[in-house]
Amino acid sequence: MLDDAEPPALIHGDLWAGNVFWTPAAAGEVQEVQSVLIDPAAHAGHRETDIALLHLFGFPQLGEVVSGYQSQHPLRQGWQERIPLHQFLCLAAHWLLFGAGYRGPTLSAAGTVLRR
């Protein structure tokens, strides 16, 4: 499923809306904001993982983030279908840590991965 020639990338590792702060741009800049990422679990991994984690809990500016990402370093075709693969470990950890509310999503992601 991840048989690609892409080398590991430095990823945030815990990228969700709560770990992204939006700040006003510096004085004189035209109506722009800057994002600041906090609380990283940085490691070398597949770059689709951070995008998949942004999808997991919802992210208000997700379309713009993905579009910007795609304009700079396009994701490999079919990346949307691999989202559950990249979400599985996070979901399993949440099931263990926070309870059965994560059971359904974890099993759904596992089923998707197994069917691939």
Active-site residue, 4 included: no
- Give yes or no for a contact between 6 and 76, defined as CB atoms under 8 angstroms apart: yes
Catalytic residue of the set 3, 14, 39, 50: 14
- C-alpha 50/C-alpha 13 separation (Å) is 6
Question: Taking the CB of residue 56, how many other CB atoms lie within 10 A of it?
Answer: 19
Catalytic positions, written as ranges: 14
